[in-house]
Amino acid sequence: MTNTYSAKSWDEQIVSGAQEGPRIAHAHVTFEYRGLLDGTSTCEMLLYYAGAGYDNSGLTSPGYERFEGAVDGRTGSFIARHEVSYDARGIHDSWTVVPGSATGELTGLTGTGSASAAMGQDTISYTFECTR
């Protein structure tokens, strides 16, 4: 089974700083997942940029995502906590299911996931290890 996701929308606004200098931005993102995770999500990211472009100097940026759909055929929702690093070459993301956040047939779900992709890649492969 191939596990992939893609951004369906990305709305990013600078919160503080200038486009060409160190800055903080907020991104509101919607994703569509296929594979072990089958559904959609809404993610709120707080992004740090060291200067012009996409460099965050090796630091991670936090985010929270609410997934709604199915995990291995069981329906419900859960919240994931993300740590994302990125540079001009690409992104690296790791996430953990927030304890107690799963609903429906996913109640009790725990798990971790990761993804890496080249910058600008439309479809991203992910891993997700979970127990219920």
Domains of the chain: 4-131 (2.40.350.10)
Average pLDDT of the chain to the nearest whole number: 93
Rounded to an integer, what distance in angstroms lies between the CA atom of residue 63 and that of residue 95? 9
Rounded to an integer, what distance in angstroms lies between the CA atom of residue 131 and that of residue 25? 34
Residue-wise pLDDT tens digits, 103-112:
999 999 999 9
- Kindly report the pTM of this predicted structure: 0.91
Q: Please tell me whether residue 47 adopts helix, strand or coil conformation.
A: strand
What kind and span of H or E run contains 108? Answer: none
**Alpha helices (H) in the chain, listed in sequence order:** none
Cβ–Cβ contacts within 10 Å for residue 4, how many?
15
- What pLDDT sits at residue 21? 85
Summarize the confidence of residues 7-16 as an average pLDDT: 96
Cβ–Cβ contacts within 10 Å for residue 122, how many?
8
- What pLDDT sits at residue 74? 96
Burial of 108 from C-beta contacts in 10 A (0-12 / 13-18 / 19+): exposed
Residue-wise pLDDT tens digits, 33-79:
999 999 999 999 999 888 777 777 778 899 999 999 999 999 999 99
Residue-wise pLDDT tens digits, 121-131:
889 999 999 98
- What pLDDT sits at residue 125? 96
Q: Which of 21, 9, 17, 71 is nearest to 45 (CA)?
A: 9
Q: Please tell me whether residue 75 adopts helix, strand or coil conformation.
A: strand
